[in-house]
Structure 1
Amino acid sequence: MMQNVHLAPEIDEDDLYSGYNDYNPIYDIEDDPHTNLVTEAIKNDHLRQMERERKAMAEKYIMTSAKLIAPVIETSFAAGYDWCVEVVKASQYVELANDLEINKAVTYLRQKDYNQAVEILKMLEKKDSRVKSAAATNLSALYYMGKDFAQASSYADIAVNSDRYNPAALTNKGNTVFANGDYEKAAEFYKEALRNDSSCTEALYNIGLTYEKLNRLDEALDCFLKLHAILRNSAEVLYQIANIYELMENPSQAIEWLMQVVSVVPTDPQVLSKLGELYDHEGDKSQAFQYYYESYRYFPCNIEVIEWLGAYYIDTQFWEKAIQYFERASLIQPTQVKWQLMVASCFRRSGKCFSLRFLVRLCTDLGLKDAQEYARKLKRLEKMKEIREQRIKSGRDGSGGSRGKREGSASGDSGQNYSASSKGERLSARLRALPGTNEPYESSSNKEIDASYVDPLGPQIERPKTAAKKRIDEDDFADEELGDDLLPE
């Protein structure tokens, strides 16, 4: 069964345009009172937006121009700002005068003239709510940096009460609460600041630190990762991320983020020493030494780094290298006895006797009675060392003389005959002059040799001791006197 199809009636083409000129929809909108009001509101809103944009642009130009010309148009930047303030007050942008005064106070802060800055800010504190909030916020920050948390909290309250939607005021109030240890309440102020201005990076950074204090490491890491998306090359944010990974016992991730910090600030000794510490905990001594050494190169006064490097050279038995670091530590901390004891220990382990000198110095500084005993031993040891050096030197000279004699004996035949004959004549003369005999010299081949010996001094007289025993005593002293018993207990 076919359904009935209703077709549209045929329309002539001329009928489509027949009433076009008679119907104008614009006229209908303008004639409608309600539609006319909506259109007028849209136009007014657009005009107000344009006016706000132009005003903001003009204020930006005025403030930028004042910052540029104030330091150069007068003898001082303060006089230049005063001139700019007077000019602005005479214009239609009179409300910018207070902003210029705040910029003047901030310039004083950058020059570390805190008294002048505080004086200007306290004067602006009596102005309207917006200016009062800005001045109180800066005063709160000043007192916070000066560790005067009571004054910082007081001005932070003034700033918040003057303008509850000021994110900087809320952040400063959170800082004062954080300093008092109330981390939960500080987090609430930071959250409120972020609700008023989601781009307030200071509040986001501080809330990350607050979560770290509360041991809510996952939330802290989330805050810093969000901040890293905003500030890609911030060394502080990268370091905080690495620190949280270390607290989460993930050293590999901590090392990876610290490497990014080094790429941003390659000469930061604290970051380099932290990398060395992490590699040391991982058992990679070579990498740890590399970063500890770099840290020491940029900042050679870190006692922890110096101590690690000295201990590293002791483990590798490079005593002379270790002595250099412990001597530097003793210069940085001259009242710490352990550094000089470490130097003495390194000298002792390296086989040198300089440990006695440090013992004398330590005992003298501490007023111990052992100082004289160690000084006596040191003097004796230095004398023995001098004697030993002289013997070595004389032995070298003697060996050189004997070599010269041997070389001389290898000369021509005439020289040999002459020296032999002269020696024979002198020997014959000496033998003839020996006491107890009048017999001339005879060859030993013709007479039997008498091997008996009679001491001319007699058996009852003790002969003088030779230097052999003395040499043994000196060597024994060198082996025994430098042991651990020399160190004070």
Structure 2
Amino acid sequence: MNSQALNSEGVRLYQNGNYQQAATQFQRAIASNPQSASAYYNLASTLHKSGKLQNRPQDLQQAEQLYNQCLDYDPNYTECYRGLAVLLTETDRQDASYRLLEGWSARSPQLADPKIELARLYEETNNMPQASAMLEEAITIDPHNSRALTALGRLRESSGDTAQAMANYQRSLAINRFQPAIESRVASMQANQAVGAPMVTPPDGTRTVQQSKSNVRY
């Protein structure tokens, strides 16, 4: 099997909760293609998950090394930056997490993703003004970035600016209509506005090492 096929099999095993078997497939993928950034990321993500679930510090240490190897081969691998930032925060190194993302943003000023990931970190530390500023910068860089528009809409809604939140959500849906959580949220907001009911801020999504699961958030 080639590296891509091994990665695909590993992802399937990971999604089924078979982390040890998934790790084996990702290790084989790296052996097949030692420059596969996705294989390093997938193995790092798997060890990160198992390290947390089984309280294995050695898995977390290895995951950190693998995240960095992933970035050696792909310096703009968004999911890898996210995973590493999460790991650093979870291991009481939040300052290092900020430095990681700020460094990426400085090296890649043409990309919106570093700003979006910084916004996520600012929001999780309750620095909403800075989170909003980062998202606005991301949208300036890429006006058609649905992730940034969705995230900014959520911040606007949380602050009570429902009109701007609705505008951000609708613009995001116009760019990417495959966002059922946002579509549902917009319908709920429109229904509340029609009857004059007070708005209820949706709950935060859950951050994981894998791609973000909450479309309403990121």
TM-score normalised by length of structure 1:
0.31
Q: Which amino acid aligns with 1:65?
A: A
1:237-248 map, 5 Å = 237-239=183-185, 242-243=188-189, 246=192
State the number of aligned residues.
Answer: 184
Q: Which amino acid aligns with 2:188?
A: A
In structure 2, list runs of 5 or more residues that go unmatched.
14-19, 200-218
Q: Indicate yes or no: 2:177 matched with 1:231.
A: yes
In structure 1, list runs of 5 or more residues that go unmatched.
1-60, 90-95, 256-489
CA shift at 1:223, angstroms? 0.8
CA shift at 1:123, angstroms? 4.4
Question: How big is each residue's C-alpha offset from its partner over 1:87-122, in whole Å with a ceiling of 9 and x where there is no partner?
Answer: 213xxxxxx42331012223445x554453563334
> Relative contact order (alpha carbons < 8 A, sep ≥ 6): 1 or 2 greater?
2
Aligned with residue 125 of structure 1, among 68, 81, 86? 68
Question: How big is each residue's C-alpha offset from its partner over 1:27-77, in whole Å with a ceiling of 9 and x where there is no partner?
Answer: xxxxxxxxxxxxxxxxxxxxxxxxxxxxxxxxxx966412234588xx833
User: Aligned pair in 2 of structure 1 residues 97, 130: CA closer, same or farther (>3 Å)?
Assistant: closer
Structure 2 equivalent of residue 105 of structure 1: 44
Structure 1 equivalent of residue 7 of structure 2: 67
CA shift at 1:250, angstroms? 3.9
CA shift at 1:171, angstroms? 1.0
8 Å contact 2:44–2:67 — kept in the other structure? no
Structure 1 equivalent of residue 195 of structure 2: 251
Q: Which amino acid aligns with 2:37?
A: N
User: Aligned pair in 2 of structure 1 residues 137, 179: CA closer, same or farther (>3 Å)?
Assistant: closer
Question: How big is each residue's C-alpha offset from its partner over 1:133-182, in whole Å with a ceiling of 9 and x where there is no partner?
Answer: 64433222445688975454333223323433443322120122234444
| Structure ID, larger Rg | 1
Structure 2 equivalent of residue 423 of structure 1: none
Structure 1 equivalent of residue 216 of structure 2: none
The separation in 1 between residues aligned to 2:33 and 2:5, in whole angstroms, is 12
User: Aligned pair in 2 of structure 1 residues 203, 117: CA closer, same or farther (>3 Å)?
Assistant: farther
User: Aligned pair in 2 of structure 1 residues 68, 186: CA closer, same or farther (>3 Å)?
Assistant: closer
The separation in 2 between residues aligned to 1:189 and 1:70, in whole angstroms, is 34
Aligned with residue 163 of structure 1, among 78, 85, 108? 108
Provide the alpha-carbon RMSD of the alignment. 3.9
User: Aligned pair in 2 of structure 1 residues 68, 183: CA closer, same or farther (>3 Å)?
Assistant: closer
Aligned with residue 86 of structure 1, among 31, 52, 58? 31
8 Å contact 2:118–2:134 — kept in the other structure? yes
Aligned with residue 148 of structure 2, among 203, 220, 232? 203
Partner SS state of residue 33, structure 2: helix
The separation in 2 between residues aligned to 1:151 and 1:240, in whole angstroms, is 37
8 Å contact 2:44–2:64 — kept in the other structure? yes
TM-score normalised by length of structure 2:
0.61
8 Å contact 1:177–1:186 — kept in the other structure? yes
